[in-house]
Amino acid sequence: MTDVLNSLLVQDDRTRRRNAAEVRFHAYGLGAIGVAVLALVLLLTSVVSSGIGAFRQTYITLEIPLPEEKLDKSGRRDSAVMARVTTFGYAPLLRDALLATMAQKGLTTTLSDTDIAGIISKEAAATMRDHVLANPDLIGSTVTLDVLAEGRIDGYFKGRVTMESAELDGRTSPEALRIVQLLADVGVIETRFNWRFLTAPDASDQRPEAAGLGVAIFGSLYMMLVVLVLALPIGVATSIYLEEFAPRNRLSDLIEVNISNLAAVPSIVFGILGLAIFINFAGLRQSSPLVGGLVLTLMTLPTIIISTRAALKSVPPSIRDAALAVGASKMQSVFHHVLPPAAPGILTGTIIGLAQALGETAPLLLIGMVAFVRDYPAAFTAEAGLFGEAATALPVQVFNWTQRADPGFAERASGAIIMLLVFLLAMNTVAILLRRRFERRW
Amino acid sequence: MKDTNLAESVDTMVRQKILARNVSVHYGETYAIKDVSVDIVANAVTAFIGPSGCGKSTFLRCLNRMNDTIDTCRVTGDIRIDGEDIYDRKVDPVQLRAKVGMVFQKPNPFPKSIFDNVAYGPKIHGLARNKAEMDNIVEDALKKAALWNEVKDRLHTPGTGLSGGQQQRLCIARAIATAPEVLLMDEPCSALDPIATAQIEELIQELRQSYCVVIVTHSMQQAARISQKTAFFHMGSLVEFGETDRIFTTPADPRTESYITGRIG
Ligand SMILES: Nc1ncnc2c1ncn2[C@@H]1O[C@H](COP(=O)(O)OP(=O)(O)OP(=O)(O)O)[C@@H](O)[C@H]1O
Ligand SMILES: [Mg+2]
């Protein structure tokens, strides 16, 4: 068979070179994916390993007597009078309760009473005070409360604080750690899932153990709602008009170029714009999620418009012709035949825009959403007006916490990033589900 | 041209449906057709033949103003349907297209179910009062388009999932479901096998009883079989127009003769 020229059983030079090139390209592709996956895994492990602790919290279970002579001298359960007892009035009760528990469990220590009080978070007294003021009937009885442990103690149970580091630490000591370990062994101290992290507002920079994402999540969801309600209809209507109805001329070209440029404008510029228009000119309140939502809407609009136009463009013109030829009007052809197949693309663009907005920090800093917000916004109160109260947002909260000195806040910041990722994941899942739904209906 | 006049005088009884006078179409600066004048009669099939790119589709699209959708396209001249100038300012192209249906050269079903494809026209024009009537219209249209037997069990599957030839018949069904007075068909059989072609030709013969049918075709045999009038286009001009029998037996223009005998095109 050697006399066969051009045998198919033997690869000629060109084929061999071409195949080699394909193999090489394959390898490059796999390499690129490998690098991307590795980077993702590294990122996720580092964030999760340092942030997972924020979802667990150490609590001390105490039986606390609430003596009437200390908490309500008048004995009339008058809330105005009771409120005069500050957190300093409650702190000794907590300390005494802890001392009593230790005595009951037979634990002895060289620590001073003040150091033992330091095992309990400063936030605990405030929590207890709120609890008592809300339930005045409790006075005179003994309540069992789970109170927060101090940040260092919490860190010890999560492995952040060790005996060695406690040696050098002004706020705790190896002896304190020994005691809390013994308390944990008898079940007085327990580390469990931390709902407070998702619901509580931010706390002062001495109390990482009390800090939570509640207000930030509230603010972020609020802004997403504002963005969705404003940017989606405006963006889609603009795109449909520009793509399907607007005459092609200088003006529409100009608008098109400007929209593309807007998408590339740094987000902080939108912050300056928002500050000038919504706060200085329109007089809306600083730090309010409404202003945040408006600024993010401006930022998201170009993204939505561009992706919606791309989705509309990808619908073949023959479909429009088909609709017109059976006597449909321009609008019927667009709404019955062009929008449905474009819907998945529009949705994807919208979700990408929302996800961008959710993670945006810079413009929010400019409109004052970086403020320390201690309380939930009373969004619908009369004096603040609709949406008027201050709130913060997830990425801003991350930014805030990373600037604080206490290592407890580093853990909180990573925990907040995890929450941000969870929200993004949830949004993408919703997008995929909606896509499926729309695609099945063609 | 003598016998054309003769033929026309014999046909004085037939009703003129479409009258085109000196129609020229420009795409931007280049012209696609130039000074075309034809009379298209009702209850007859008129065939447009001619080499590729000679402007058959362009002229067809003038008749239902589909050229309006092309920004660069400019139509001049006079086209009247039932004596009314369809390019008059007062004419709403949407109304016109309900009256003048069209089957495109490339099949373009909606990305919807087979049923919805056919039902769409009747739905927007309010031709069916209830579900049962709509079912009837759809079934009737699909049967006429020789597609019913193949799709009756999957009416709610996507129309885009059909084969090319089936899609073409679906588009025919969609066009006739709205019961237009004039049906423009741009190479409706180009993707069909001989059996389906025969069925479509039968449909066209049937439609002729009540409608005015204009068909573009590249098959001389088809034009000869189904049409009563034939127009031969060449390089954007109407070279010859007359009774089909005469065009195919004694063409007046040498270009027509070369084309139908297969020497140019
Ligand atoms: N949208 C358009 N823009 C610019 N030129 C066009 C457009 N459509 C058609 N033309 C040009 O007009 C001329 C006539 O085209 P037309 O589609 O009418 O030809 P046709 O006779 O239908 O050919 P075929 O038999 O191949 O379908 C061609 O030269 C074509 O290039
Ligand atoms: Mg054509």
| A225: CATH | 1.10.3720.10
Which chain A residues touch B156 with a CB distance below 8 Å? Answer: none
Of the pLDDT bands very low, low, confident and very high (cuts 50, 70, 90), residue B233 is: very high
CB spacing of A326 vs B95 below 8 angstroms:
no
Return the ligand 1 atom nearest residue B59 CA: 18
SS3 A258: helix
Nearest residue on chain B to A318, judged by CA atoms?
B108
- Neighbouring-strand partners of residue A120: A149
Q: Are residues A224 and A283 both part of a single domain? A: yes
State the pLDDT at residue B47.
95
Mutate to test the pocket of ligand 1, among B27, B186, B218, B239 (most ligand atoms within 8 A of CB): B27
State the pLDDT at residue A377.
61
Q: What φ, ψ does residue B182 adopt, rounded to 5°?
A: -125, 135
Q: Are residues A239 and A189 both part of a single domain? A: no
The Cα–Cα gap between B260 and B265 comes to 9
Q: Are residues A274 and A411 both part of a single domain? A: yes
Residue A205 domain-assigned? no
Ranges under pLDDT 70 in chain A: 1-4, 372-389, 440-442
Residue A270 domain-assigned? yes
Residue A430: its H or E element: helix A407-440
Q: What is the mean pLDDT of residues B8-13?
A: 47
Task: Output the residue whose Cα is nearest ligand 1's atom 22.
Answer: B57
Nearest to A246 by CA among A340, A334, A169: A334
State the pLDDT at residue A75.
73
Among A172, A199, A226, which residue terminates a domain? A199
Instruction: Tell me how far the alpha carbon of residue B56 lies from the centroid of ligand 2, in angstroms.
Output: 6
State the pLDDT at residue B2.
43
Q: Are residues A351 and A422 both part of a single domain? A: yes
Among A132, A167, A199, which residue terminates a domain? A199
> For residue B113, is pLDDT > 70?
yes
Residue A114 domain-assigned? yes
pLDDT, tens digit, 9 for 90 and up, residues A162-207: 888 888 877 888 888 888 888 888 888 888 898 888 888 888 878 8
pTM check: above 0.95: no
Q: What is the mean pLDDT of residues B61-86?
A: 91
B58 in contact with ligand 1, CB cutoff 6 A: yes
ipTM of the complex: 0.88
Of the pLDDT bands very low, low, confident and very high (cuts 50, 70, 90), residue B59 is: very high
The Cα–Cα gap between A28 and A45 comes to 26
State the pLDDT at residue A236.
94
State the pLDDT at residue A378.
55
CB spacing of A326 vs B124 below 8 angstroms:
yes
CB-based contact (8 Å) between A338 and chain B?
no
Angle at the Cα of B220 from the Cα atoms of B216 and B221, rounded to 5 degrees: 115
Task: Output the residue whose Cα is nearest ligand 1's atom 4.
Answer: B27
Instruction: State chain B's mean pLDDT as an integer.
Output: 89
> For residue B136, is pLDDT > 90?
yes
How is residue B15 annotated by DSSP?
Answer: P
Q: Are residues A28 and A96 both part of a single domain? A: no
Angle at the Cα of B127 from the Cα atoms of B125 and B133, rounded to 5 degrees: 145
State the pLDDT at residue B14.
64
Nearest to B212 by CA among B232, B196, B198, B228: B228
Instruction: Tell me how far the alpha carbon of residue A315 lies from the centroid of ligand 1, in angstroms.
Output: 22
- Kindly provide the residue ranges of all beta strands, DSSP E only, lying in B154-211, ordered along the sequence: 182-186
Q: Are residues A241 and A135 both part of a single domain? A: no
Nearest to A216 by CA among A365, A373, A95: A373
State the pLDDT at residue A389.
67
Task: Output the residue whose Cα is nearest ligand 1's atom 24.
Answer: B52
Q: What is the mean pLDDT of residues B93-122?
A: 93
Residue A361 domain-assigned? yes
Of the pLDDT bands very low, low, confident and very high (cuts 50, 70, 90), residue B13 is: low
Name which of B66, B108, B178, B214 to mutate to probe chain A: the one with the most chain A Cβ atoms within 10 A of its Cβ: B108
Of the pLDDT bands very low, low, confident and very high (cuts 50, 70, 90), residue B6 is: very low
Instruction: Answer for the pair A342, A239: CB distance below 8 angstroms, yes or no.
Output: no
CB-based contact (8 Å) between A438 and chain B?
no
SS3 B261: coil
SS3 B76: strand
Instruction: Tell me how far the alpha carbon of residue B32 lies from the centroid of ligand 1, in angstroms.
Output: 7
SS3 content of chain A, % helix, strand, coil (to 5): 65, 5, 30
Q: Are residues A31 and A72 both part of a single domain? A: no
State the pLDDT at residue A381.
46
Residue A343 domain-assigned? yes
> For residue B125, is pLDDT > 50?
yes
Range of the domain at A170: 56-199
State the pLDDT at residue A92.
86
Q: Are residues A277 and A141 both part of a single domain? A: no
State the total domains in chain A: 3
CB spacing of B94 vs A327 below 8 angstroms:
yes
Q: Are residues A183 and A129 both part of a single domain? A: yes
Structure tokens at B232: 């031969």
Q: Are residues A295 and A255 both part of a single domain? A: yes
B235 in contact with ligand 1, CB cutoff 6 A: no
Task: Output the residue whose Cα is nearest ligand 1's atom 31.
Answer: B53
Instruction: Tell me how far the alpha carbon of residue B32 lies from the centroid of ligand 2, in angstroms.
Output: 12
Residue A209 domain-assigned? no
State the pLDDT at residue B7.
45
How is residue B78 annotated by DSSP?
Answer: E
The alpha carbon of residue B149 is apart from the nearest alpha carbon of chain A, in Å, by: 24
Among A199, A225, A247, which residue terminates a domain? A199
SS3 A355: helix
State the pLDDT at residue B264.
61
Residue A204 domain-assigned? no
Greatest mean pLDDT among A182-196, B144-158, B251-265: B144-158
State the pLDDT at residue A2.
54
Instruction: Answer for the pair B19, B79: CB distance below 8 angstroms, yes or no.
Output: yes
Q: What φ, ψ does residue B178 adopt, rounded to 5°?
A: -85, 5
Q: Are residues A27 and A144 both part of a single domain? A: no
Residue A207 domain-assigned? no
State the pLDDT at residue A62.
87
Q: Which of A376-390, B151-165, B245-259 has the lowest mean pLDDT?
A: A376-390
CB spacing of B108 vs A329 below 8 angstroms:
no
Task: Output the residue whose Cα is nearest ligand 1's atom 3.
Answer: B27
- For ligand 2, a single-atom ion, the residues with CB < 5 A are B 57, 105
The alpha carbon of residue A318 is apart from the nearest alpha carbon of chain B, in Å, by: 6
Q: Are residues A287 and A393 both part of a single domain? A: yes
Of the pLDDT bands very low, low, confident and very high (cuts 50, 70, 90), residue B139 is: very high
Residue B138's alpha-carbon distances to B99, B114, B117, B119, in angstroms, are 18, 9, 9, 6
CB spacing of A442 vs B108 below 8 angstroms:
no
